[in-house]
Amino acid sequence: MEKTNDVILSIKDLKVNIRIDEGTLTAVRGVDFDIRRGETLGLVGESGCGKSLTSKAILGINDKKCKAEGEINFDADDLGWVNLLSLNPRGKEIRSVRGKQISMIFQEPMVAFSPMYTIGNQINEATLLHITKDKKKAKEISLGVMKKVGIANAEKRYDQYPHEFSGGMLQRALIAMALVCNPKLLIADEPTTALDVTIQAQILELMKELQKDFGMSILFITHDLGTVARMCDRVAVMYLGRIVETAPATEIYKNPQHPYTQGLIGSVHKIGTKAQERLFSIEGTVPLALNLPAGCGFYERCHRRIEGVCNVYDPQLVDVGGGHQIACFACTGCPNAGKEENA
Amino acid sequence: MSKGDQILDIQHVHMRFASKGLVVKAVTDVSFPVMEGETIGIVGESGCGKTTLGRCIVRAYEPSEGKVMYTAADGQTIDFLQIDKATMKKYRKEIQMIFQDPYSSLDPRMTVYDIIKEPLVANFPKMPKKEIERRVMEIAEKVGLNTTYLKRYPHAFSGGQRQRIGIARALVISPRVIVCDEAVSALDVSIQAQVINLLHDLQKELGLTYLFISHDLSVVEYISDKVGVMYLGKMVEFAETRSLFSHPMHPYTESLLSAVPVADPTVKSERIPLEGEIPNPANPPSGCHFHTRCRFCTEKCKREVPEYQELEPGHYVACHRAQELTLRGFTYE
């Protein structure tokens, strides 16, 4: 396993299988990506595309029914360059990573907190586990982080319960909980989806500022292309358990190549532009990832599909320069197809 | 009656809820006219009263005060809030609603056919079975549902398909006004685009009037002819879409617009931050409700309630300083 300087997390051919009554459903079907130090990678896709499963696989907190295969290599503090999937999911090693070096912000702050404990108590949990056994010190650290994420009146708030917080404040508390151990990588799973636009803007700005202070990397998972544009350096677009296109953020908006990415960007109206008569829409719906036919997962809904190629061969990510990779035969051509037919 | 005539006139609607000895003013003195065939967008943050307003208009709630003057298909103008049960039966079918959550607004124990059929049976008890079937099939096809699947139950359908079922149910009795309460908010963007296009096509074909309630400003800007902005139960600004988005006249609208994430990383928007959070609606601030978070606040704003007035033709604002301020909106190409 070679480690390049900047990369702190490298995922190779990650697959997540889920056992269901009808058989095995492969929800993540071979995902590769790297995250570099200090960068924000946006993982974009619609519901059911496997983006949350991917992020949970990194921490090893997927449901028992899910089985992850492949490699998730992480530059851990004590362990060096290590494949997280090879560690015992209940063992000591992964626990020294989970919550400390990699932490996560969950989608719905109302659900992520236990209603039975005070906010301070819940933020302390991570501190007491990873940093210090001294409760007084832990409280000090927690209060410091609470202030940092902009919770006014932190001393009073520390002893309050989640129901006494508004949605935006609770999301701040959740961020405080994730940051209290100063992680290298923060996974943010739709952190602002449940919030109003004004609060959403506040939280996104806060995350950006904190990223500068803490120097961490962020894996930002969302279906909202607007927040991605605001937050991310690079974007990976996921469809049906695969990454179909990845590029620097500016490039993906200026020059989207994959028909799915184009559809995704075209279906969002931009304020200030002349309204088209109709919004661009991708026909059909995402198929169930059970017994998928051969070829590209987007075949049925694609307006550029090439019969005999796209429904036969599986497209892989191809580099087209400038850090832009596309998995689409219609965009990059299909050299293999010709050869195999001749042979 | 032709397109462009006034179809609804909402006049000074108030809605107060009593809870634990407190009175929560969910909607306070909201008035605006609606023309036939147009789409009115209502925006605001959660808790601003936009859903309550929508429910007052269809009379799902009984508003505490106010009038909803409705000009019916037969040319009569009635106060929708005052009419008795028998008259209600006659007119209610002309105003329908599409709900927010396609997962909880459909009965899981009814087949899709029965769900779409229900309003017909309720409103036209004497309609022959054949005619009912014909109408259900026709409307299902119109909204893009596969008619061979109508005997299935809602759980077998995806979110976008379910929202189509909700739309078919609202349309089957040929309403004239539809209140869409966050009708596309729960859907993925590609499906959202499909449903918005569908609503658009149906409006053109059937001449429908929409009241489109949403917190998503991009969608509202796309679909609406006029937009109303609500804050803490009050309408603070109401104008033609272009006018409101390009030159907002209320500081709240300005902040709201500046917070919209634009799907283009080259657009660096300067957000105008809002201090603090929405005050408790059971105990709203004195004077202008917005003064606690307004960057232009003066002593007068803390004392006096600003009047909701027409400052430019068709542009209504409730702000003491609206005329002296130059606020920033979106630049149109």
CATH topology of domain B1-94+175-333: Rossmann fold (3.40.50)
The size of the A-B interface in CB pairs under 8 A is 126
- For residues B10 and A78, the model is more confident at B10
Measured between beta carbons, the chain A residues lying within 8 angstroms of B255 are 198
pLDDT at A37: 92
Q: Which amino acid is at A90?
A: R
Give the helix ranges, DSSP H, for chain A: 51-59, 92-97, 109-112, 119-130, 135-148, 154-158, 167-179, 197-214, 225-231, 249-254, 259-266, 329-332, 335-342
Distance from CA of B205 to the nearest CA of A (A): 14
pLDDT at A343: 34
Nearest to A265 among B221, B263, B273 (CB): B263
Best A197, A206, A222 residue to mutate vs chain B (most B CBs within 10 Å): A197
Measured between beta carbons, the chain B residues lying within 8 angstroms of A289 are none
Nearest to A264 among B190, B245, B256 (CB): B190
Measured between beta carbons, the chain A residues lying within 8 angstroms of B160 are 285
C-alpha A199/C-alpha B143 separation (Å) is 35
User: Token pair of A212, please?
Assistant: 């500068």
Which residue has tokens 């927010």? B100
Nearest to B194 among A226, A265, A281 (CB): A281
Cβ of B263 within 8 Å of Cβ of A268? The answer is yes
| Number of continuous H segments (helices) and E segments (strands) in chain B | 10, 12
Let me know: does A72 contact A35? Beta carbons within 8 Å.
no
C-alpha B159/C-alpha A151 separation (Å) is 37
Chain B, nearest residue to A233 by Cα = B265
Model pTM score = 0.85
User: Token pair of B47, please?
Assistant: 């808790």
C-alpha B31/C-alpha B48 separation (Å) is 15
pLDDT, average across residues B128-151: 90
User: Token pair of A16, please?
Assistant: 């997540």
B62-105: per-residue pLDDT in tens?
999 999 999 998 888 999 889 888 888 888 889 999 988 888 89
CA angle B98/A195/A27 to nearest 5° reads 80
The sheet with strand B22-35 has its strands ordered as B22-35, B6-19, B65-71, B77-79
Let me know: does A225 contact A265? Beta carbons within 8 Å.
yes
Measured between beta carbons, the chain B residues lying within 8 angstroms of A230 are 261-262, 265
Which residue has tokens 């989207």? A256
SS3 call for A24: strand
Number of residues that make up chain B = 333
pLDDT at B136: 95
Distance from CA of A6 to the nearest CA of B (A): 24
Let me know: does A47 contact A223? Beta carbons within 8 Å.
yes
Within 13 Å and on the Cβ side, how many CA atoms surround B268?
1
C-alpha B69/C-alpha B67 separation (Å) is 6
Spans of chain A, pLDDT less than 50: 1-3, 337-343
Cβ of B265 within 8 Å of Cβ of A282? The answer is no
Q: Closest Cα partner for B119 from B195, B160, B161, B175?
A: B175
Distance from CA of B183 to the nearest CA of A (A): 16
- For A103, other C-beta atoms within 10 Å of its C-beta total 24
Distance from CA of A66 to the nearest CA of B (A): 23
Q: What is the 3-state secondary structure (H, E, C) of B207-226?
A: CCEEEEECCCHHHHHHHCCE
B243-278: per-residue pLDDT in tens?
999 999 999 999 999 988 887 777 766 788 887 777
- For B151, other C-beta atoms within 10 Å of its C-beta total 10
Distance from CA of B270 to the nearest CA of A (A): 11
C-alpha A269/C-alpha B196 separation (Å) is 11
C-alpha A321/C-alpha A339 separation (Å) is 24
pLDDT at B275: 75
Cβ of B267 within 8 Å of Cβ of A229? The answer is yes
Nearest to B256 among A198, A204, A263 (CB): A198
pLDDT, average across residues B270-294: 85
A315 phi/psi in degrees, rounded to 5: -70, 140
C-alpha B33/C-alpha B68 separation (Å) is 10
Q: What is the ipTM of this complex?
A: 0.80
pLDDT at A4: 54
User: Token pair of B55, please?
Assistant: 């429910």
Measured between beta carbons, the chain A residues lying within 8 angstroms of B200 are 278
- For A2, other C-beta atoms within 10 Å of its C-beta total 7
Distance from CA of B156 to the nearest CA of A (A): 12
For residue A25, the surrounding DSSP H or E stretch is strand A23-36
**How high does pLDDT run on average in chain B?**
90
Q: Which amino acid is at A79?
A: L
Best B164, B190, B204, B253 residue to mutate vs chain A (most A CBs within 10 Å): B190
Measured between beta carbons, the chain B residues lying within 8 angstroms of A223 are 188-189
- Convert B103-125 to b/e letters by CB count within 10 Å (16 or more is b): eebbeeeebbbebbbebbeeeee
Distance from CA of B249 to the nearest CA of A (A): 17
User: Token pair of A293, please?
Assistant: 């036919």
Let me know: does A237 contact A244? Beta carbons within 8 Å.
yes
Measured between beta carbons, the chain A residues lying within 8 angstroms of B219 are 269
Going by DSSP bridges, is the β-strand pair A7-20/A66-76 parallel, antiparallel, or unpaired? Answer: antiparallel
* CA distances in angstroms from A260 to A31, A314, B187, listed in the order given: 17, 16, 17
Over the Cα atoms of chain B, what is R_g?
Answer: 21
pLDDT at A1: 43
Q: What's the DSSP call for residue B149?
A: G
C-alpha A246/C-alpha A268 separation (Å) is 19
Distance from CA of B191 to the nearest CA of A (A): 7
Cβ of B261 within 8 Å of Cβ of A278? The answer is no
SS3 call for B97: strand
Sign of CA dihedral B187, B191, B195, B196: positive
C-alpha B209/C-alpha B7 separation (Å) is 8
pLDDT at A340: 45
C-alpha A176/C-alpha B259 separation (Å) is 23
- Convert A152-166 to b/e letters by CB count within 10 Å (16 or more is b): eebeebbeeebeebe
Confidence of residue B3 (pLDDT cuts 50, 70, 90): low
Best B50, B188, B217 residue to mutate vs chain A (most A CBs within 10 Å): B188
Let me know: does A35 contact A8? Beta carbons within 8 Å.
yes
Give the helix ranges, DSSP H, for chain B: 50-57, 85-92, 112-123, 129-142, 159-171, 189-206, 217-223, 241-246, 251-258, 299-303
Measured between beta carbons, the chain B residues lying within 8 angstroms of A273 are 332-333
Best A164, A190, A269 residue to mutate vs chain B (most B CBs within 10 Å): A269
What are the boundaries of each domain within chain B?
1-94+175-333, 108-174
For residue A185, the surrounding DSSP H or E stretch is strand A185-189
Chain B, nearest residue to A231 by Cα = B265
Q: What is the DSSP string of A97-117?
A: HBTTTEEEE-S-HHHHS-TTS
Let me know: does B195 contact B187? Beta carbons within 8 Å.
yes
